[in-house]
Amino acid sequence: MEVSYDDGAVPSVWSVGDVIDDRYQVTEVLGRGSMGVVYRVRHLGWDTDLAVKSPRPALFRSAAARELFVIEAETWVSLGLHPNVCGCHYVRTLGGIPRVFAEYVPGGSLRDWIVDRRLYRGDRQRVLARILDVAVQMAWGLEHAHRQGLVHQDVKPGNVLLDSSGTAKITDFGLALARKVAGTLDPDSPPDASTLQPGGGGMTLAYASPEQVENRPLGRRTDIFSFAVSVLEMFTGAVTWDAGPTAGAVLADCRASSTEGQPAMPSGLADLLASCLQEEPALRPARMTAVGAALLSIYEDLVGRPYPRPAPEPADFLADEFNNRALSLFDLGRPVEAEQAFTEALRADPQHLTATYNAGLLRWRRGHLTDEELLTAIAGPRDDLGDPWQIRHLSALVHMERGDVAAARKLLQELARERPDDPDLLHAANTSLSDEIPDAQCFRNVRIPWQTYPSDSIPTGHDIRLTPDGRLALTGSADHSVRLWDIHTGVQLKSLQGHTNRVDSVDISADGRYAISTGWDETVRFWDLAVGKQMRSVPITPWADSKGPEQEREADRQNELAKAAGRPHYTHVTRLDPGAIAESAVRLNRDGSVALWGEADGRIQVWDFPQDRHLLTLDGHSGGQKVEVSPLGQWALSGNGTVLQAPVLQLWDLTTGDCVWRLDNYEGGVTGIWFGPRGDMAAVLGDDHVIRVWDLAQRRCVHTLALPRDLEVRSVALSLDSRFLLVGSWYGKVTWWDLQHNRCLRTFVGHQDRVSALLLTTDNQYGVSASLDNTTRVWRLPGRFEAPAQVSRPRQHGQLVWIDERMEALVTQAEAAQDAGRVGEAIDLLVQARALPGCERAPRALTAWRTLGAQATRTGLSAAWPAKTLKAATATSLERIFPGARSRTYTSVATPVDLTADARLGVLGDNYHQVQIWNLAQGRRERVIDPGLRALTRLRLTPDGRRMVVAGQGAAIKTFSVESGECLDTLHFRSAHPVAFSADARLALVVDRAAASMLLWDLEERRELQALPSPGRIVTALWLASDGRRAVSASGDNLIRLWDLTSGQCLLTIPTQSETVSRACLSSDGRFLVAGSAPELSRVPSPDLARRMARIRMWDAVSGDCVRVFDPQPQYLSDLRLSDDGRFVVSSGVDSAVRVWDAATGRCIRNLDGHQSGTAGLAITPDANFAFTADGDQTLRLWELDWDLKAPRLSG
């Protein structure tokens, strides 16, 4: 009878016929021992047999016992693939027990062959050859283990497997020591099961060395002793001694006579075994290498021919094998080692789907990725791999874990029609249709017209406040009213009149009876909503303690000092009216008994709301103050988030007015405060994009959540148990966070504008969001489901060796053909090599392909992938420059970046006007250099990566040593903006506005080579050829100019039809000029239309004719690069896209997806095999570009 168990109901003991996890069918019990049971299972998806070693539950009675097993299983997993070692494919925890899935060897054990006499079939010479063959292979297998630092400690015929061809494989590596925790033998254990001796490991007494029996230290020579006892048994046909140390006496008897049915022991072999059976380990051979060499000599002498099997080598892992190793390490509780193995898998194949998925799951669960980022990573290779079904399958599994069951079902239903017999897909589809996972969706969307501002001019502090039961909402309005809404129906219940200017900040009591509001009329008003009347109007208190104009003058002075020092500063300063109230500062506690607000000079006013009585004035913080009241009204929490003043967080006792807790120089500043439902916890948002959750009773931070840089937080709801956060963003996203793991469980999309208010139900099942897009949404939050890891189908040692040898042979032949000038033949050979399983992106084949690209013609982009993704401070957001300002995109000014020709080093200018130097090969930031320049505009590395030249908005160009960071030279100009460098960083083209000229300088010789007239008052683009002979400029007069720098003449002038050119460059052969432009804002109705009209154009650099208008570029360009062969253009834009264009057709052939918040920097290597990008979300990416190649046409 077949019984099926899913992962959550797997029994500790399996029976023949069981189907485990809808994947493994138990077909046979192969053996029982003290460790547990070995099963033969059929993997239904792969149609392959595996051996599963299931430990006894007794092994896991304690944490220490489980840890010991884990260590030993991990060792076996890490052994790699060797033909004489039984391969451990992976480890999976099923039913709470880590189970080892190993290679199934159908021939049984050497002990089976001895007992059933298969070992002794044939004449004496054939039997002797067979025994020596097994002995040699055992020696090779043990030597491989010893080279990996592993001592088996239980070598015996029962742990040697033989297949039908006679290949011997040592098994049960790494499990010997784990047997120490088994306690007692299983009653069903066979007579030769391993016994337990203190300190002796899980040895079997008949094969144990003297040091094992005597509990002395163990080493490689322990295995050599047990190996010799095992070889002896092949000649005796049975164990005829009590314990391993007495086997030597039996060997002496074997010298004198042979056993019937077994061959006699040859004297040379007897001498070798005698040396291995010495009582003292130091007298035995030191290594299995010597034993194996001696056996080869004995074989040739006795059999009369050389030993036929070649000496084996371990097989190199491909991505599949690294993936399985990583999964095993993760299942064994080794996440750091697992991540390293995943890195190896993706180094072997950067687009390996299974490793991308598994590694992404690990990083997502550890809080290093969001759910959206993981889905993007899985979908990344879609264009390159032809939208394989695996992408949809893996995406569906992620959707189920993030609770988007509807999306998962849609994908799985498609796949079920395409692949009806796939058990993994069937299991996933059945799970998605069950009630096991709640479908986390928006199930109510109510339109409520609570704001009438245009979407691009909604006031920053515009408030929506909800009652805790989710029934009512209170809003301010541009028409001076305060409005009460039923959020279930969207009906306006009341419109309260009284304010004389717009109303921004409001709050409401939990029962919906009381409200408070403030706005631009410099009053705070109390409302009785039950009768719809104003209770009181309180004017904002005038400035106090000289905190008004004097403070503003001091702020101006501090701002100028920060600007001069190159620190973050305001780019412009806005002034609040003297009586203006701080943003979002009016607050009412839950029962409406306490009202408070913060004023611009830092004071916090506290009122008894029902009694209409002023209680306290608290001396808070001036400038950008945030203030919140606890639900019960006993506490207030206030903070200051400005850059120019030291941030402070303060907790106030509202019964006494005392500050009971104060944190000076609060890390990250304070830009938002939200109390938890009970008032004992509070979430504080900093300008560093970190939410810190504070236990206010204990005065300690209990959670620190670093948010993605592009997630501009507008609202937060903390769960009742303080384990989860619901976060609303400026751009409409709602995200659900697990604070225990700092993990984004789900990103909800639907709102089109900032999410101003959030609620959570006490059971964490539902969330409510209110947005300034005039909607409220109710979200079902995700449940608990873990997407299963995906194991790669394991390959045998022989398969991997064949693949490796075949690939090496093809690549070697291709390199020879390339050297001989037969480029077409070389391409064909490398195509064959890359078509081998797991070799398409293998480093050896890919390197040869790239090298060949220098002689071949690129015809298209076959694939592209991010080789490195690194977090760094890059483009400056408006929020960083001017706290409180908001924008839907980051600044469009390009962040200067560059990289070496071999993509080994990358540099960028960050938002603190410093230069970061990155070792891209190792993914490590090597150094940060402060060049002392403002607003860095250009960087260039020398080809060898030893020096770097830097220009900024100012009057200097500096040269630095990359290795030491030392400034080697400084060239001063009256003004130097913009600047362009040659590709080798030797030449600089400088527009000197003060001199109204354009200067060409040799930076190494520190001399001016040419002076040209200025190309215009405002130069918008500048480019310099690598040889310094040509330059391109674009200026505010709507002209592009091509310059001959040798003669100083303008060769060509191209009008740009009232468009502003932001980037331009020339092909290496000088034939074509490419530029990116957009209409001037004054010429079009709206900036949005100007962005949509942005274009890339190509001109004939001789005639000036426009030869190509590229397909629309949806947003302004940040940067533009032309490949050296002139066939392809790479562009970056403020719409977060990096695009690769075919210059011959003007069509975009690939989007390099995954960028966020604008792509502000772009560089490519001269061979166009790598691109380096810097994003507005503080992320650097090194892209590998894999080009299609063909043989070039022969001239003549």
The tens digit of pLDDT for each residue in 388-432 reads 899 999 999 999 999 999 999 999 999 999 998 888 888 889 889
Q: Is the per-residue pLDDT at 1088 higher than 70? A: no
Q: Is the per-residue pLDDT at 709 higher than 90? A: no
Q: Is the per-residue pLDDT at 94 higher than 60? A: yes
Weakest mean pLDDT among 130-144, 188-202, 350-364, 749-763? 188-202
What percentage of the chain exceeds 70 in pLDDT?
87
| pLDDT value of position 229 | 97
The answer to whether 342 and 362 are in contact (CB under 8 A) is yes
Q: Is the per-residue pLDDT at 182 higher than 80? A: no
Q: Is the per-residue pLDDT at 967 higher than 90? A: yes
| pLDDT value of position 258 | 64
Alpha helices by DSSP H, 924-1010: none
- The DSSP H or E segment spanning 146 is helix 124-147
263: nearest Cα among 168, 136, 125: 125
| pLDDT value of position 903 | 94
Q: What is the pTM of this model?
A: 0.83
Tell me the average pLDDT across 305-317.
90
Tell me the average pLDDT across 1128-1154.
88
Weakest mean pLDDT among 209-218, 583-592, 710-719, 796-805? 583-592
pLDDT band at 335 (very low <50, low <70, confident <90, very high): confident
Please report, for the chain, the start and end positions of each structural domain, with discontinuous segments joined by +: 4-303, 317-369, 381-420+427-439, 798-856, 861-1186
| pLDDT value of position 1111 | 86
Distances (CA, A) of 385 to 382, 860, 865, 1188: 5, 15, 12, 14
Long-range contacts of 700-705 (CB under 8 A, 24+ apart): 703/739, 703/742, 704/742, 705/737, 705/739, 705/742
Partners of 1182 in beta bridges? 868, 1172
Q: Name the more confident of 1021 and 188.
A: 1021
| pLDDT value of position 878 | 29
Q: Is the per-residue pLDDT at 183 higher than 70? A: no
For Cα atoms 60, 64, 65, give the angle at the middle one, nearest 5 degrees.
35
CA dist., res. 777 & res. 472, Å (int): 13
Which tokens in the block code for residue 447? 């339109």
Tell me the average pLDDT across 698-727.
93
Buried b (16+ CB within 10 A) or exposed e, 43-61: bbbeeebbbbbbbbeebbe
Q: Is the per-residue pLDDT at 824 higher than 90? A: yes
CA dist., res. 40 & res. 30, Å (int): 6
Q: Is the per-residue pLDDT at 535 higher than 90? A: yes
- The DSSP H or E segment spanning 928 is strand 924-929
Residue 187, classed as helix, strand or coil, is coil
Weakest mean pLDDT among 587-591, 638-642, 665-669? 638-642
Weakest mean pLDDT among 59-68, 812-821, 848-857? 59-68
1032: nearest Cα among 938, 1107, 1040: 1040
Question: Which residues touch 1135 (CB under 8 Å, ≥6 apart)?
Answer: 889, 1114, 1115, 1158
pLDDT band at 290 (very low <50, low <70, confident <90, very high): very high
Helices and strands, number each (H, E), in the chain:
22, 64
Q: Name the more confident of 187 and 597.
A: 597
CA dist., res. 402 & res. 783, Å (int): 8
CATH topology of domain 861-1186: Methylamine Dehydrogenase; Chain H (2.130.10)
pLDDT band at 873 (very low <50, low <70, confident <90, very high): low
Tell me the average pLDDT across 261-276.
90
Alpha helices by DSSP H, 304-422: 319-331, 335-348, 353-365, 371-379, 382-385, 389-401, 405-418
Q: Is the per-residue pLDDT at 846 higher than 60? A: yes
Weakest mean pLDDT among 170-174, 682-686, 916-920, 926-930? 170-174
The tens digit of pLDDT for each residue in 568-601 reads 555 444 444 444 444 447 999 999 999 999 887 7
179: nearest Cα among 93, 78, 69, 85: 69
86: nearest Cα among 202, 14, 174, 151: 174
Tell me the average pLDDT across 211-234.
94
Q: Is the per-residue pLDDT at 646 higher than 80? A: no
| pLDDT value of position 196 | 34
Partners of 97 in beta bridges? 94
The torsion angles phi and psi of 818, rounded to 5 degrees, stand at: -65, -45
Amino acid at 1126: G
Q: What is the 3-state secondary structure (H, E, C) of 818-847?
A: HHCCCHHHHHHHHHHHHCCCCCCCCHHHHH
Please state which CATH number belongs to domain 4-303: 1.10.510.10
Tell me the average pLDDT across 663-683.
92
Edge-to-edge order in the sheet of strand 464-466: 464-466, 472-476, 482-486, 491-496
CA dist., res. 697 & res. 685, Å (int): 19
Tell me the average pLDDT across 360-388.
89
Q: Is the per-residue pLDDT at 729 higher than 70? A: yes
| pLDDT value of position 259 | 65
Tell me the average pLDDT across 536-540.
90
786: nearest Cα among 228, 331, 181, 173: 331
How many Å separate Cα 1126 from the centre of its chain?
34
Question: Which residues touch 1161 (CB under 8 Å, ≥6 apart)?
Answer: 874, 875, 894, 895, 896, 897, 908, 1118, 1119, 1132, 1172, 1173, 1174
For Cα atoms 119, 120, 121, give the angle at the middle one, nearest 5 degrees.
100
Angle between helices 319-331 and 353-365 (to 10 degrees): 30
Tell me the average pLDDT across 347-365.
93
1158: nearest Cα among 872, 868, 894: 894
Q: Is the per-residue pLDDT at 439 higher than 80? A: yes
Whether the CA torsion 644, 647, 652, 658 is positive or negative: it is negative
Angle between helices 220-236 and 288-303 (to 10 degrees): 30
705: nearest Cα among 721, 678, 723: 723
Tell me the average pLDDT across 726-739.
95
| pLDDT value of position 1133 | 81
> What is the pLDDT of the chain when averaged over all its residues?
86
Residue 304 burial (CB count, 10 A)? 9
The tens digit of pLDDT for each residue in 204-220 reads 899 999 999 998 988 99
Weakest mean pLDDT among 77-91, 666-680, 785-799, 1108-1122? 1108-1122
Which tokens in the block code for residue 268? 């040379």
Specify the DSSP class assigned to residue 109. B
* Preceding peptide of 978 cis, ω within 30°: yes
Residue 855, classed as helix, strand or coil, is coil
Residue 1049 burial (CB count, 10 A)? 10
Partners of 899 in beta bridges? 906
Integer distance in angstroms from the first to the last C-alpha of the chain?
77
The tens digit of pLDDT for each residue in 249-259 reads 899 888 766 66
Alpha helices by DSSP H, 1050-1125: 1087-1092
pLDDT band at 935 (very low <50, low <70, confident <90, very high): confident
Partners of 1189 in beta bridges? 858
Edge-to-edge order in the sheet of strand 897-899: 897-899, 905-909, 915-919, 924-929
The answer to whether 348 and 843 are in contact (CB under 8 A) is yes
Residue 255 burial (CB count, 10 A)? 16
The answer to whether 1133 and 1091 are in contact (CB under 8 A) is no
Which tokens in the block code for residue 643? 């850059």
Tell me the average pLDDT across 272-280.
95
CA dist., res. 622 & res. 549, Å (int): 12
CA dist., res. 997 & res. 1014, Å (int): 4
The torsion angles phi and psi of 668, rounded to 5 degrees, stand at: 85, -10
The answer to whether 76 and 175 are in contact (CB under 8 A) is yes
pLDDT band at 195 (very low <50, low <70, confident <90, very high): very low
The tens digit of pLDDT for each residue in 1154-1184 reads 777 667 789 999 999 999 998 876 689 999 9
Q: Is the per-residue pLDDT at 457 higher than 90? A: no
Question: Which residues touch 618 (CB under 8 Å, ≥6 apart)?
Answer: 603, 604, 605, 606, 636, 638, 652, 657, 659
Weakest mean pLDDT among 126-135, 354-363, 609-618, 1009-1018? 1009-1018
Q: Which residue has the tokens 């860095």?
A: 936
Q: Is the per-residue pLDDT at 34 higher than 70? A: no
Residue 980 burial (CB count, 10 A)? 25
| pLDDT value of position 74 | 77
Tell whether residue 53 is among the known ligand binding residues.
Answer: yes
Radius of gyration for the alpha carbons in the chain, expressed in angstroms and rounded = 37
The answer to whether 998 and 1034 are in contact (CB under 8 A) is no
Weakest mean pLDDT among 35-44, 111-120, 367-376, 731-740? 35-44
The answer to whether 791 and 324 are in contact (CB under 8 A) is yes
Length of the chain: 1196
Whether the CA torsion 150, 154, 159, 165 is positive or negative: it is positive
CA dist., res. 797 & res. 105, Å (int): 13
The torsion angles phi and psi of 549, rounded to 5 degrees, stand at: -55, -35
Strands 19-20 and 4-5: parallel
CA dist., res. 129 & res. 124, Å (int): 9
769: nearest Cα among 732, 744, 739, 738: 732
Which tokens in the block code for residue 1071? 């034939």
